[in-house]
Structure 1
Amino acid sequence: MTDTPAPTPAGTPTGTSTAEDPLRAHAEDAWADELAALAASDDRPRPAQWRLSPWAVTTYLLGGTLPDGTEISPKYLGQRRIIEVAVATLATDRALLLLGVPGTAKTWVSEHLAAAISGSSTLVVQGTAGTPEESLRYGWNYARLLAEGPSREALVPSPVMRAMETGAVVRIEELTRIPADVQDALISILSEKHLPVPELDTEVQARHGFNVIATANNRDKGVNDLSSALKRRFNTVVLPLPDSHAQEVEIVRTRVTALGASLRLPADLSELAEIDRVVTIFRELRSGVTADRRTTVKSPSATLSTAEAISVMASGLSLAAHFGDGVVRADDVAAGLVGAIVKDPVQDRLVWEEYLEAVVKDRREWADLYRACRELG
């Protein structure tokens, strides 16, 4: 390391990690310095209980330069209006639903929104097919319930109830994975802003600042679709795939650089050649046509999202660091590339073989990648 510290990559948490640090810190901890700088310079109106104004929340997510010269790194690379609409929604009494294909940063955006608005991103309900109603309402400590009867001390609040009591933002991940009858527990909470507790003949009323950010994968359409009553209580914001090749390359570079620093992988990503190739392959297979629009290709069953491109490059970074010379090359990304594309061992394998022979093989500068993929069989 040189005497002059290298600039922190965009989207990379500041600070020095130690062995005692968590593998992945919460957003409010990892970017605490930026949040503090924004709070100190933020002189715009703030909704009740918000740590930052809507303008500052948007700046935190999209990046910018503060009046004192502090650089705020971008957490989301995409259309500014999308984030502005999401933040403006949360400033009202309407809940926010982030919708998109897998890997479009829905969870990432929801975490950073909660961190910037409430100072905490840890009030989370993870939606699954087995999520019970207690996860959205409340449960009971049955030992105390049997010993003492119904009481406030025996009640176990859900993250939603705690957010209502403290005036905070609660996150509900993969809302459409939750059974429909459990989803409907949200209807009265979102419309009336109170949660009845009939066992105690009382209710919890939401304080100012309470709101809900839910995420949903549009690939799950038809699994547990939201009822029309619940849909009306959300403002839906669709997070798209990156607009351009260059934007997607930058997203992958930023996130992989941050992952490499977090995991202390001594590998070099200064050359963007491998990232560029992975992103090109993913975009061509997603769209069904090569970048020059000359060759039509088949699309595999996999989503091939930006998140998967990040995983491919992170895997290559680890291989280069531990089993190579520290420079990420075609041999390091080939295995991850094949694993991301070939989800169906029959149909996807045929799609990938055809793409290798029709596209990759004909690109002379990709000869090393073609060879590495072929060697994997």
Structure 2
Amino acid sequence: MYKFLVRPIFFLLDPEKVHHLSFSLIRFFSKIGFSGLFRTLYQINDKRLEREVFGLTFKNPVGLAAGFDKDAKLYNELSNFGFGFIEIGTLTPKPQKGNPKTRLFRLKADEGIINRMGFNNLGVFDAVEQLKKDHKVLIGGNIGKNKATPNNMAVKDYLICFDALFDHVDYFVVNVSSPNTPGLRELQDKEPLTALLQEIKKENYKYALKSKTKEKPILLKIAPDLSDNQLLDIIKIVNKTKIDGVIATNTTIARDKNLKSDYMLIEEPGGLSGKPLANRSTAVIRFLSEKSNKAFPIIGVGGIHSAEDALEKLEAGADLVQLWTGFVYEGPSLIKKINKAILQKMESKG
């Protein structure tokens, strides 16, 4: 129904307006009692789908990537569609409007999206208020820095977000790979990235000690545009800092010459996601998995539009997968299709 009825209507409208409209509709239908119907239609509850990854038990390996529910407004309602985990953010210490509109573009012919949102969010402390509700699903907190914060002061921003969210999320994601905040990707360089992660690790230990709880898993989200040498550096950094895993990958600034969409759309600045990112994302996952000898967990994201796409990521070395653009193009049935395919693959192996 989604692809043949809902999506054609949505795709007539501005993408950012549709995003807000879809939130309003999900909230409305959930309030009038459709939550149970959504669970019946889209959830698969099967113990065989459970995954133990970086000390957490995931109900299933299919999550919602950061950027969809930035301000933690709809995580419980979204969980009714069958997600095993939901990542909120990217959150910054202070609220910020992000980049000027228009900043979100559909590449329909390529089943992709270009965004240059620029970490628009209401700030980490607003999200904390939203997160005080009971969680029906594991929550990841994706954290970044404010645009106005210079890179030499970035650590402070990440620590503010970390401290605010510690009691309210199940794992953290350090985002230094968005292409839409000027200079942010410079923090992926070996020295500043190592220093940033070491400071967050120290804060994790201190906060856990103070609150008498376990340390929270810390993941690093990386760009797909890194060279092989830079990816080898990422492996060394993960081993040195002893963080818990990597999310591969964020959006790409590359534009493949075979893209079929309108030239003016393709040339819009920002990060490209969706099908055009699929092969590169999988290649990065495979490289990290093989070169590290599976030394750390990987969450695979980028271009998952079918169950086969998800299986390819898992076979390349991902432990979990996340959706964003594929969720927009394919609708909530995609989550169920992936989980069914995982079960079928398990059964075929005996």
Relative to its length, the structure with more strand (as a share) is 2
Whether TM-score is above 0.5 comes out as no
- Which structure is richer in relative contact order (CA contacts within 8 A, separation 6 or more)? 2
Task: Output the TM-score relative to the length of structure 1.
Answer: 0.29
Q: Who wins on radius of gyration, i.e. which is larger?
A: 1
